[in-house]
Chain A
Amino acid sequence: MAISFDDIPGVEWEPGAGEFITVDPELCIGCANCVKVCLGGCYEIVRKKAVIRSLDKCMECGACWYVCDNEAISFSWPPGGTGFRTKWG
């Protein structure tokens, strides 16, 4: 069953996406760029390192990946048919 959120109407998330974005703590310097650009609130800084809180509201926009200067973020697509979807884009 697809998941939706009241604060993000018109969009559904098909389960099964898994951890398609990951942070390498060795490379992360805790600059928080990813936190600042993520409109889905997916990141937080814990003990000076970025941690993915949840990808539940991830719109696969890639902003976090673009702004990480340290290549600490690996970005890939969730498995086919999973992740967000909308009719209104």
Chain B
Amino acid sequence: MRITDNIDETKCDVVVVGAGFGGAAAAKKCADAGLKTIMLERSKNVGDKIISGLTIPFHGFLFGPAFIRDGNPPIERPVDGIVNYIIKDIENKDIDIDDSLKVPKPFSPVFSVGYNAFCKAFCEWEVEQAVASGVELRTETTVLDVIRDNGRISGVITEKDERIWSKIVIDAEGSHGLLAIKAGVRKKYPPDTISLADVYVYDMDKRDIDRIFGFSLRFCWGWDEQKIAPPLGHGNGLMVWPYRDSLHLMQDQCLRNDDGPVYNLAAALKGYHEKITANLPWWKNEIEPRVTLRARMWDGFEIFVGLNEQLRNMPNFTDGMLLIGDAAGLENTELCDGVPTAWFSAEIAADVAIEAISHHDTSASFLKRYDDRIKAHPIIQWAITSTNRYNLRFAQQEHDEKKLKQCIHDGWGLGFCKYGSTALMRIVLFFIRKDPKIIGKWIRMYLRYYYNWHYSHFGDTGIAKEKQNRRNGIRLKSCLRLMDLILFIFSPLIRLVAGLLEPLAGAANPVMRFLFPIVAPVYLKFIKRWDAALEPLSTRLVNAIVASDPSIFNA
């Protein structure tokens, strides 16, 4: 990584504030377009101060920056589903399970719904790619203010009182938005939109995690009096993410509930953590004896900004400045995943910055197209307006078990397809219509990521391959070649079909809602019955991947 401590030149095309998930992606795209781009980061090393879950959902990888999709980012474990524990009475072990969100065999675990990762390792990798594209990175540099020149923002001022002049400032500072507030673009978020997450990282033997968790996340929900998942406001939850050889446990809670009093969160979160580790049967029996605490941390993030219409419509641009990711309030209101939206907004901001600079117009009226594209992005809009997590509170208040289960099923179970199908169909068809060969890149991404994960090796250089099953690997190579050929031959037809289906995407959610009561039970029954039967196929796919020459997975 090239780190520039001191550069005399303080004029550039684009300044990016914050070298996190979004900042690195935006900076790289600007540099790739030939713009002189400087990225400023307040921490000593990249990623030192980024705290997260973290499952990055599949849509971030498939529809986000190409260098991530086609690269080798460090991941901790693929995710093939969520097991929801609905805790009604912990003392009497009255706990229901909703594990309907699960990638079926033989696709699991290779074709996953997301990837778990450590923020620091992932952001370091992203920043390395940005620096390789020519971005100048300056760490240990806190941006304090923007430069105003004739009313427009023309760069930033660092804590060392250094002025870095730029045509565009991309603000990727994360959710607190101190710079955006100072620049007068947006306001401080109210506490009922902010969740305080208390995070524990436990060491655990990889073999135990493989056996106990496999590739599934475990989420806990419950009645308030169970004191398991903090009950004090919208947005409570307790989530356990299996990593390679560690577990990530997060409890989070809104700072305030609908203008009510602020609770003693410090005491509550501590109490709930003690209670769950001592009482939840699977934690107590299977996890507790096998773990040691590696790390503990906490952070606040803007979970419900998107649900407040006024906040959602707060400006995300001004003359000479664009806000992306958490700084623009783009956190998912249900799964609390903000990385995909940070990536999508980063790419849109970079595109707009490139256009603005080439048109010599960085005025707010030109930059408005950034906001238009954010509002037209199907996944961003779905992510920031989903209500199941928010509504969970009402189900808990009313002690309405049916409602509670419905929210859980629709938020973190199969029911999500009643809300997410339109957005997913729109974006899939959009990408396929642009270039059907993208399908080959998506499939190779899944195979490459799995290969990398298996060997815990995230570079471009090959590694020692297992000799056995070599034939399997060769067969996979032929399959990929055949797939490329089919995509090539049928490309015009695929494009035509995608184009014809695109206008119908709007009907996907209503159709899903209509068909769901009939189709879902049949599907779930089928999956339960066939999962075991299809397991050998899944194993064959895995064996073929790990026996392959990794160069066949290159995009």
Which of A59, A65, A77 sits near B299, CB closer than 8 Å?
Answer: A59
Contact with A along B47-66 (1 / 0, CB 8 A): 11111100000000000000
Q: B295 touching A9 by the CB < 8 A rule? A: yes
B121 nearest CB across to chain A (Å): 8
Q: Which residues of A contact B48 (CB under 8 A)?
A: 84-87
- Which residue in B50, B159, B300 is a CB contact (below 8 Å) of A89? B50
Query: What per-residue 1/0 map shows which CB atoms of A11-48 lie under 8 Å from chain B?
Result: 10010000000000000000101011111010000000
**B7-15, B189-197, B334-342: which one contacts chain A?**
B189-197
Interchain CB contact (< 8 A) of B118 among A66, A75, A87: A87
Is the CB–CB distance between B295 and A61 below 8 Å?
A: no
Check if B293 is an interface residue, CB within 8 A of chain A.
yes
Q: Can you name the residue of chain B whose Cβ is closest to the Cβ of A31?
A: B262
Partner of A80, one of B118, B141, B262, B265: B141
B142 & A80 in contact (Cβ 8 Å cutoff): yes
Shortest CB distance A85–B (Å): 4
The listed residue with most B CB atoms (<10 A of its CB), out of A38, A41, A87, is A87
Q: Does A72 belong to the interface (CB within 8 Å)? A: no
How far apart are the CA atoms of A24 and B94 in the complex, in Å?
49
Chain A residues lying within 8 Å of B300, measured Cβ to Cβ, are 61-63, 66
Q: How far is the CA of A61 from the CA of B198 in the complex (A)?
A: 10
The answer to the question of A55 belonging to the interface, with a C-beta cut-off of 8 Å to chain B, is no
CB-CB under 8 A for A67 and B256, given A36-B265, A77-B42, A87-B118: yes
Query: Which residue of chain A has the shortest Cβ distance to B48 in the bound complex?
Result: A85
A39 touches B42 (CB 8 A): no
CA distance A36 to B144 in the complex (A): 28
B49 contacts A84, C-beta separation under 8 Å = yes
A80: chain B residues within 8 A (beta carbon): 42-44, 139-142, 158-159
Contact A89 B266 (CB under 8 A): no
Inter-chain contact B52/A61, CB cutoff 8 Å: no
CB pair A88–B297 under 8 Å, yes or no, is: yes
Q: What mask results when residues 255 to 286 of chain B are scored 1 for a CB within 8 Å of chain A, else 0?
A: 11000001111110100000000000000000
B476 contacts the other chain (CB 8 A): no
* Chain B, residue nearest A59 (CB): B298
A60 interfacial contact with B, CB 8 Å: yes
Known: A61-B298, A88-B295. A39 touches B198 (CB 8 A): yes
Residue contacts A-B, CB under 8 angstroms, 12 given: A10-B296, A14-B44, A33-B262, A37-B255, A39-B198, A59-B299, A63-B300, A65-B188, A75-B176, A81-B139, A88-B294, A89-B119
A positions within 8 Å CB-CB of B:
7-11, 14, 31, 33, 35-39, 41, 59-63, 65-67, 75-89
Interface residues of B (CB under 8 A from A): 42-45, 47-52, 118-121, 139-142, 144, 158-159, 176, 178, 188-191, 194, 196, 198-199, 201, 246, 255-256, 262-267, 269, 293-300
Contacts A7-B296, A36-B266, A87-B120 supplied; 10 other A-B pairs, CB < 8 Å: A10-B297, A36-B264, A67-B255, A78-B142, A80-B43, A80-B140, A89-B50, A89-B199, A89-B297, A89-B299
